[in-house]
Structure 1
Amino acid sequence: MMWLCVGLLTGFFLLQQLAVLPDVQWLLVAIIVIAVTLLKIVGLWRCIGLFLLGFCLSLGYGTYHAKQRLADYLSEQHEGKVSSVVVRVQQLAIYRDNTIQFDVEVLDKGSIKEGIPSHIRVYWSQGEHFSLYKREHIDNMPEVRPGQVWEMSLKLSRPNTLMNPGGFDNESYLFRENIRAIGNVIGTPVLKEQEQHTLQSYIQAWRHDIRKNLHTYWGDKRYGAVLIALVIGDQQGISTQDWLLFNRSGMTHLVSISGSHITMLSGLVTLLSLWGLKRCSWQGSLLANHYDISAFAYSFGIVIALLYCLLAGWGIPAQRTFLMLLLGYIFYLLQRPLSLSQLFIITAIIVLILDPWAILSTGFYLSFAAVAVLHILLNRLRQRQRYPKQEHRVLYWQMLKDWAIVQGVITLALAPFLMYFFNQISFISPIVNAYAVVSVGLIITPMALLFALLSVFFEPNTWLHHLALINHQLLSWVMELTQYLAQLPWASLDVSIIPMWMRVLCGLGIFILLLPRGIPYRYLALIFVVPAFFFSQHHLREGEWQALFFDIGQAGAVLLKTKNHTLLFDTGVRRSANDDSGGRVILPTLRALGIKAIDTLVVSHADIDHSGGLATLIQSIWVKKAYASFQLDHFLDREERLLDQKIESLNPLLSYKRCAEGQTFVVDNVIFRFLNPVIGHIPLKSTNHQSCVLAVEGKYHRLLLTGDILAEQEQQLYQLTAFSPPYQIVQVPHHGSKSSSSQEFINEVQAKYAIAQTAYKNRFKHPHPQIKARWQQQGTVFLNTADTGAVQISSTILNLHVDLFREQERRYWHR
């Protein structure tokens, strides 16, 4: 049956890699044929048949459920329109500075019969005025509690994501969460019922009440949100700064409800139950003389584990832990012990039957991998004669050494997953986990759970406040030590995206290293692991270049690479005081591509959709030199005042020059030439018509980056002697607006590819259909990043090569 189980897991995994779903009818035929064939075959062929049967069964099961979920979608006729619906709140609401976010189930669509999905993520803005630089905090927001029924008007849109290398795939995340539309509240919703519960909303309401209670004590504390996450698994209040620290230090698993927390709590309850039951009497004698009290004690631990998992939000690690405990208990009662591999595979299959998209979760891989490695290590340590009678000093040293080995090997074993999901490896993770696992797992978390329980039964009082402060102070000490370690220059290593074959090779090497001692040359498997840490993207030659047009919404940003040089043209948009394209889009992509410094930064003009990520970038990555069409220092001073924070460049000697016609520099036999004419003195703030225009002239092809120039500036360009078409690649001026891309300009540049950077369903309706048609009539391939995702174009001796990131990464749920 093991081959059947492996086939089931393989089918679940491969289904989520498909761009198009298979036909269920053909899968059904395959299942019947394989099942009949299995009646007549034996040996190896039977094993293969069982594998294929499991594969087809899981593929068919997952496909059936996927088609059901895809059928619940927002139709084109309702997208961007306001619809009046009656909804029930299903999950914990997330309160931000001036917005409430919550997931709802649609109960009544009014006169609309179809085209509106059943599950919507709602954003309810409370602020009257929006500011790019000021965080407007609203104190008295309405309470949104799971189980409430509201009537509200929602402006609906389909889920969308920016598709870039190393970027977060929001469409995949929302599809896994069964969120089929986004709704922004218009007007004032009406509360129709305070409570109308399903089982799910009832559990979420229970979590809501506990969170509300804990906010009384920890709401204003520095790490209060972390303590609340340890109790109920609600991580939304944790700041971005803290998440960066957790990733850099490798302790992310400790600030979520991990399997270790649940197992320790369940084990503690089991031991206490066993201790109590041993002292209980029944009919004049001890209860243990009549019944197997260990089974009763184990059942108490299982019940507590279930309650904690529900309190924690029933995430993937929680599901895995509870199911392993439950299966272990069931097979213990049946006196049919399971091996760890059998227990793992059966648990994984049950998790995927309950949720076929769980396999898309980072927690699915990290949770199973960490426990498997831990079990292998502990077994290996147990096989040796441990800790014979010796001096206490030697004994403690040996225990400490074993603990360090466990932490180091777990870090190494999880490296392929961390590379794939986060493009980062923490070198201080073994050190941090050596003290954090004990302090957070055995002291802080149990203490926080005990406090949460006490706060439910007792009114706020002095001793409860003192207990809350002690709990917070203990966590603060752990965090301060971790912060110190994370600031060390060698604390973590950013790694670029590695190809699939290298991930498999790295995983194989780690598997061999974990095999029992005695296998000859086992440590040579490090040869399979080390290259993954030093892999870099395809090397360019002299005269070759590569351009990445970011999928960055209604903004501009283009990354250019030559053999030894990196140039960034524009920095994207600022969306709010703590959200801009620099941190959200550009930095993750640079990390994924293995880029650790920007040699040249060009900011075409001062509009916020081209300069919005500047402050974040210069503070986060080394920038050697910069060009701009405006006073960059004045711009940054203004950003400092508006954001009310100090902006310090990583490069203290960073200076800038004005981009202007006649300025040229050559790198790796590629010419970079500015074409925009100088108009008077450099302004404090430049606009569209003053945009930098950069021509890139390689050995084989040419590229023209235009910023937001208008038709008048286009005419000035092709009158310059330095303007030397053809430019095979052109950035469509001003996102494809009607004010640019004149017919004369299009005729002059003779482009093969024209790329417009726009947002999906943007309010400006860029690119304008007339402009798109104008380029296409010239024979140019017109690409819009809103449709294609990031566009990467490589100019090499072999020819132009174009990669469309959305097509490369497409899955069946993507729009």
Structure 2
Amino acid sequence: MSILSASAWLLAGIGLCLCLPAPPDAVLLSMIAALAVVSLLRTHWRPFAVLCAGMLLAGLHASWSLSSQLPVSMEHGVFLLRGTVSGMPIHEARRTRFEFLVDDVDAMPEALRGARLRLAWYDDFDVETPPPDAPRLRLAAGSRWVLSAKLRAPRGLRNPGSVDGEKHAFVDRIVAGGYVRAPETARQLRGPRGIDAWREAMSRRIERAVPDASSRFLRALALGDTRGLDDEDWSVLRANGLTHLIAISGFHVGLVAGFFALMASATWWLFPLLGRVAPRVQASALAALAGAAIYAAMAGFALPTVRTLLMIAVVAIARLSRRAWRPWSAVAMSVVAMLVVDPLAVLTAGFWLSFGGVVWLLWCLPDGGGSPVRDFLSAQAVATVGLLPLTVALFGQASLAGPFANLLAIPWWSLVVVPLSLVGLALEALHAGWGAWPWRLAAWAFDPSWSLFETMAGSPLALWWLPEARWYALPLALLSAFWCLLPRALPGKPLALLLWLPLLWPDRQAPDPGEVEVVVLDVGQGLSVLVRTANHHLLYDMGPAIPEGFDAGERAVVPALHALGVRALDAAVVSHGDNDHAGGFESVAAVFPMRWVFAPEGSNRPAAVPGLRQCRAGDAWTWDGVRFRVLHPTPHFPYLRNESSCVLRIETAHRAVLLTGDIGHVIERGLLRHDPAAVRAEVVLMAHHGSDGSSDPGFVAATGARFAPVSAGYGNRFRHPKPAVVERWRYRGARTPLTAETGAQRLRLTAAGIAYEDERTRRRRLWDAVARRARAE
């Protein structure tokens, strides 16, 4: 069996295991191991043996990663920890986020020995205007500390289109997350040391040497330090398809390796006697490997650099063994090496984009041989067409400006800006201050290109957001890309383009006229509900936002709306001004045009915006055969925060939905007295996240609800929803799905009934924290 075939079967086995809904237990792993041994003894079954080996390898890594996470019984406990700050901390206005590697010693809790944690250190004062004598925390990379932290197992929100935080913790082997308790008691044991401390020190020197805004990009390009980039910077990079270049990329590692190989070859040419010690070819290979390793260390061994380092190592080994390996064999060996070291890397987007790009280029441009400009343009065209399906499937977006931006950025940044930045690092390492002039030259070269990319990103056509497609859309698009990249003489290419449609023009699965779909998004301790009719969209609340911290509007609501195919909002309702309901408004409004915005009179959230209207009882309108009616607050009702919540009734020809905000017993009883028929609905959003101040027994009975969704965060400090309140709804026959357990919930009201689906059930994941917690209990 060839190495190419072995790598494909190994990848298939790992992928098959990671697609399981739960990690394989010891019995299943033993059976897979036995099958691998038996298959290995028969020549024709060896591919199956490699498949089993892949499943076994992935199963062992997955089981270890999940079993090492903080047990449910220890969640929300406070632990005294001693360890080292790993990586470079991210300093924000009111907090510092960092990874903490706990010492593997007997003095530490057994479940946390050697654990990697993600922690936050919150400041007690507003650092924008700190007291004159207030000490500012400067947690340094590589420093050792003793501190107390409140921890919980990794857990994330689950919405269509949003980042899966649980998956990232699973891949990165994060044991727990939390925050530092009693920061004044924390004690530093040792100052910064190691490669991360050196990287942070160099980052500060670049910042001092290049005081203008472009220094943040130089730090990213030279050291992989993206801490200085803000959301606007990342938006410009995404719109231009340049995120793969802004930090240390595999291409940059290859350039450094090539420079080291060239220098070694030149040295051997100048001093021929060195050939008696080692042949020039082997010396160049070792120099390339050493250069790649040094540069990967400077990047903190980020995954893209590790992949390239492995590929260079394979080529170097081939040179040292004096065997001529074909490019396909080198790539296959790199895949095998990567998967053996870390099979969970299959779950990262970078793995597929990196190796996918190399495979496309090797298949379509095996020899090159033309002019450098023509080869570069051909490679760019192949990468654009070949990687577009993966980009859309992984990120839900396509950069129409990307091919043009990369034509400039790849040669200019990689051949001018990055080398100057690296020369600055080398000179600065020799003597403090020597690196200033290359860094300033690099900034001078970088600034004009960034101005151009900002202009390109401002075009409405730069970035194209696409709804989530069905599972078969990606294979069809890849088949179409394969067909389009075949030799020109092959027929049927125009017809092959039709295979792109399920991915680039997917069905939004909008309700039929007269029907309505309600999507209760998972925003933590807050609320956001999307209401869809056949041709209209209404967003009820936008979730919480913490200054310099988590913004549910940006992190959860906006990606979910993109994934659901929303391009604009016909109406937005801010039920009341509390942060857990209105905090994400600005982030959502910055992305989606809003025709109407409703808010209670007297609320200061949102501030004056175009289309702002008072939310008053009696307001009504009809979209696509679905009637919307405001039940509360009544005209001239004083603004009383929760009690002023805008209550919205949504009626189809057969069923109704009631969105209640944070109203309490008094308002619920008032609604029941004023119009008992108006509160009757099959779907009723449980008011105030299931607090004991809401869900009056009479109101619950009068609704006759079959579903009472609850939007509340896992382990929230209010302990919502209250068990007695949940039981009250269940006693009346309602299902009470909780977003903290289900993720986003979708309820579609049709003439045939109510179709319910939640995100965690729709897409079961091996690393699902909810399923793991249920099994533990």
TM-score range, shorter chain: over 0.9
- Give the one of 569, 572, 592 matched to 1:598: 569
Aligned position for 2:124: 128
State the 1:115 CA deviation.
4.4
CA distances 1:315-365 after superposition (whole Å, capped 9, x unpaired) = 222122111111112223334333333322321221122112111111111
The answer to whether 1:61 aligns with 2:91 is no
State the 1:663 CA deviation.
1.6
* Superposition map of 1:368-379 within 5 A: 368-379=355-366
Structure 2 stretches lacking a partner, 5+ long? 770-777
* Superposition map of 1:26-41 within 5 A: 26-33=28-35, 35-37=37-39, 39-40=41-42
State the 1:792 CA deviation.
0.8
Secondary structure at 1:723 match in 2: helix
Which segment is superposed worse, 564-573 or 24-33? 24-33
Aligned position for 2:252: 261
State the 1:19 CA deviation.
2.1
- Give the one of 718, 741, 752 matched to 1:764: 718
Change (3 A) 1:487 1:10: same
State how far apart, in whole Å, the 2-side matches of 1:61 and 1:699 are: 55
Secondary structure at 2:748 match in 1: strand
Q: Is the 8 A contact 1:175 1:813 kept in 2?
A: yes
Change (3 A) 1:636 1:23: closer
- Give, as a single letter, the amino acid of the residue that structure 1 aligns with 2:66: L
- Give, as a single letter, the amino acid of the residue that structure 2 aligns with 1:508: L
Aligned position for 1:643: none
Change (3 A) 1:241 1:75: same
State the 1:616 CA deviation.
2.4
CA distances 1:595-650 after superposition (whole Å, capped 9, x unpaired) = 10001111111112111122222222111112221257x64448xxxxxxxxxx6x
Secondary structure at 1:320 match in 2: helix
Which segment is superposed worse, 563-572 or 520-529? 520-529
Aligned position for 1:391: none
State the 1:117 CA deviation.
6.0
State how far apart, in whole Å, the 1-side matches of 2:518 and 2:130 are: 38
Aligned position for 2:426: 453
Secondary structure at 2:239 match in 1: helix
Aligned position for 1:488: 459
- Give the one of 475, 486, 491 matched to 1:515: 486
Aligned position for 1:333: 320
Aligned position for 1:393: none
Aligned position for 1:98: 94
Q: Is the 8 A contact 1:710 1:733 kept in 2?
A: yes
- Give the one of 732, 735, 744 matched to 1:790: 744
State the 1:192 CA deviation.
5.5
Secondary structure at 1:439 match in 2: helix
State the 1:108 CA deviation.
6.8
- Give the one of 1, 24, 27 matched to 1:25: 27
State the 1:582 CA deviation.
1.9
State the 1:204 CA deviation.
2.7
State the 1:143 CA deviation.
4.2
State the 1:814 CA deviation.
2.3
State the 1:95 CA deviation.
2.1
State the 1:593 CA deviation.
1.4
- Give the one of 230, 234, 253 matched to 1:243: 234
Aligned position for 1:688: 642
Q: Is the 8 A contact 1:80 1:157 kept in 2?
A: yes
State the 1:686 CA deviation.
5.1
CA distances 1:671-726 after superposition (whole Å, capped 9, x unpaired) = 11111141426x6x551111111111113321110011111111111223373454
Aligned position for 1:406: 379
* Superposition map of 1:234-633 within 5 A: 234-282=225-273, 292-379=279-366, 381-382=368-369, 386=370, 403-460=376-433, 464-576=435-547, 579-630=550-601
State how far apart, in whole Å, the 1-side matches of 2:656 and 2:578 are: 26
Secondary structure at 2:15 match in 1: helix
Q: Is the 8 A contact 1:6 1:54 kept in 2?
A: no
State the 1:145 CA deviation.
3.8
State the 1:408 CA deviation.
3.1
Q: Is the 8 A contact 2:396 2:467 kept in 1?
A: yes
- Give the one of 689, 699, 705 matched to 2:653: 699
State how far apart, in whole Å, the 1-side matches of 2:423 and 2:131 are: 32
CA distances 1:104-163 after superposition (whole Å, capped 9, x unpaired) = 2222788775444642435353522369xx797999644434443321111112222111
Change (3 A) 1:443 1:377: farther
- Give the one of 674, 678, 682 matched to 1:720: 674
Q: Is the 8 A contact 2:676 2:702 kept in 1?
A: no
Change (3 A) 1:40 1:19: closer
State how far apart, in whole Å, the 1-side matches of 2:560 and 2:654 are: 26
Change (3 A) 1:486 1:312: same
State how far apart, in whole Å, the 1-side matches of 2:529 and 2:30 are: 48
- Give, as a single letter, the amino acid of the residue that structure 2 aligns with 1:203: I
Q: Is the 8 A contact 1:27 1:56 kept in 2?
A: no
CA distances 1:424-462 after superposition (whole Å, capped 9, x unpaired) = 11111111111111111001001101101111222337x
- Give the one of 202, 209, 224 matched to 2:194: 202
Secondary structure at 1:85 match in 2: strand
Structure 1 stretches lacking a partner, 5+ long? 388-398, 639-648
Aligned position for 1:213: 205
State the 1:554 CA deviation.
1.2
- Give, as a single letter, the amino acid of the residue that structure 2 aligns with 1:715: R
The answer to whether 1:83 aligns with 2:79 is yes
State the 1:20 CA deviation.
0.9
State the 1:415 CA deviation.
1.2
State how far apart, in whole Å, the 2-side matches of 1:511 and 1:21 are: 34
- Give, as a single letter, the amino acid of the residue that structure 2 aligns with 1:307: I
Q: Is the 8 A contact 1:123 1:184 kept in 2?
A: yes
State how far apart, in whole Å, the 1-side matches of 2:477 and 2:330 are: 25
State the 1:421 CA deviation.
2.2
Secondary structure at 2:693 match in 1: coil
Aligned position for 1:144: 139
What TM-score, normalized to structure 1? Answer: 0.88
State how far apart, in whole Å, the 2-side matches of 1:343 and 1:449 are: 28
- Give the one of 606, 625, 631 matched to 1:675: 631
Which segment is superposed worse, 414-423 or 548-557? 414-423
What TM-score, normalized to structure 2? Answer: 0.93
Aligned position for 1:642: none
Change (3 A) 1:523 1:342: farther
Aligned position for 2:775: none
State how far apart, in whole Å, the 2-side matches of 1:655 and 1:367 are: 46
Change (3 A) 1:750 1:455: same
- Give the one of 613, 618, 622 matched to 1:657: 613
State how far apart, in whole Å, the 2-side matches of 1:725 and 1:319 are: 59
CA distances 1:217-243 after superposition (whole Å, capped 9, x unpaired) = 24x431322211211212232111111
- Give the one of 161, 170, 180 matched to 1:166: 161
- Give, as a single letter, the amino acid of the residue that structure 2 aligns with 1:214: I
State how far apart, in whole Å, the 2-side matches of 1:92 and 1:354 are: 24
- Give, as a single letter, the amino acid of the residue that structure 1 aligns with 2:291: I
- Give the one of 67, 81, 101 matched to 1:71: 67
Aligned position for 1:224: 215
State how far apart, in whole Å, the 1-side matches of 2:480 and 2:619 are: 51
State the 1:251 CA deviation.
0.7
State how far apart, in whole Å, the 2-side matches of 1:125 and 1:19 are: 35
Change (3 A) 1:498 1:263: same
The answer to whether 1:180 aligns with 2:175 is yes
Change (3 A) 1:236 1:798: farther
Q: Is the 8 A contact 1:86 1:109 kept in 2?
A: no
- Give, as a single letter, the amino acid of the residue that structure 2 aligns with 1:432: A
- Give, as a single letter, the amino acid of the residue that structure 1 aligns with 2:702: E
Change (3 A) 1:781 1:117: farther
Paired residue total: 765
State how far apart, in whole Å, the 2-side matches of 1:272 and 1:4 are: 36
- Give, as a single letter, the amino acid of the residue that structure 1 aligns with 2:627: I
Change (3 A) 1:523 1:567: same
Secondary structure at 1:181 match in 2: strand
Secondary structure at 2:297 match in 1: helix
Q: Is the 8 A contact 1:772 1:782 kept in 2?
A: yes
- Give, as a single letter, the amino acid of the residue that structure 1 aligns with 2:103: L
